[in-house]
Copies of this chain bind each other. A is one copy, B any other.
Amino acid sequence: MVCVMAPARGPDARRSGSNPPPTELRERLLDATRDLLAHRRFDSISVADIIAAAGVSRASFYFYFPGKQAVLAELVRRAVDQGQQAAEPWTSGQQDPSRALRSGIEAGATLWKDNAGVLTAIVESWGSDEQLRELWLRQMETFTDATVARIQADPEVMRRLDGLDVRAVAASLTWLGERLYYLAAANVPPFTDRDILVDTLMHAWTHTLYGESPGSTTA
């Protein structure tokens, strides 16, 4: 047998410049999957659908990716990298909290709007695939870390959170965002309205972190 297609590596490092980009088929597969995700849910998309949309053979698909999940993982990484820098105002710790927070939340909304299909897909799938699970949990941890840092940098907030697990508070706010953005992308009211989404998230974050403890409770 001659056509052994190398043990594991992709289309081989040493290639100079005749084929269009480095690995065109791989990109075509990623693009096709991304496009399909814009209209259909991940688990209803088969490998057959992807290769048909990309105009690539089945063999090539499995040459570049071990499976559907790996394609999704790559798409998520790219989307999230792009979003990482959008959240920079909040993560960097500069600016006043309120302003930075609003920027971050707005950035999240935009990120989810632009990548609804891909992000919806991973949120629905990370529970059932080890690779995706690790990817998404790590992502959430990254955001959580940033928030923990901001909290710890502010003695006033630390005081108000007295006795609470700081990491848990930060994580809960991170996951609240994940959930609300997801619900918006999944057309669950009332979060389909961007302004409502942003205001609600903003309220929860500011009151949880910067709000005074409940004093009077009527009723």
Contacts and interface: CB of A to CB of B under 8 A. Distances in A.
Contacts of A150: 219
A118 to B, nearest CB: 14
Contacts of A196: 165, 168
Given A175-B180, A207-B213, A212-B212, A41 B128 contact: yes
B201 A97 contact: no
B214 A207 contact: yes
Contacts of A41: 127-128
A201 B218 contact: no
Instruction: Say how many copies of this protein the assembly contains.
Output: 2
Interface string A175-219: 110111001001010110100110111011011111111111111
B155 A218 contact: yes
How many A residues touch the partner, as a band? 35 or more
A219 B153 contact: yes
Contact of A208 (B96, B163, B199, B208): B208
A43 interface: yes
A153 to B, nearest CB: 6
Contact of A167 (B164, B190, B215): B190
Contacts of A217: 96-98, 154, 156, 210
Interface of A: 41, 43-44, 93, 96-98, 120, 124, 127-128, 137, 150, 153-157, 161, 163-165, 167-169, 171-173, 175-176, 178-180, 183, 186, 188, 190-191, 193, 196-197, 199-201, 203-204, 206-219
8 contacts: A41-B127, A43-B128, A127-B186, A137-B188, A156-B217, A168-B200, A169-B204, A204-B208
Given A206-B213, A212-B212, 8 more contacts: A97-B219, A127-B186, A156-B217, A168-B190, A168-B197, A172-B180, A172-B201, A207-B211
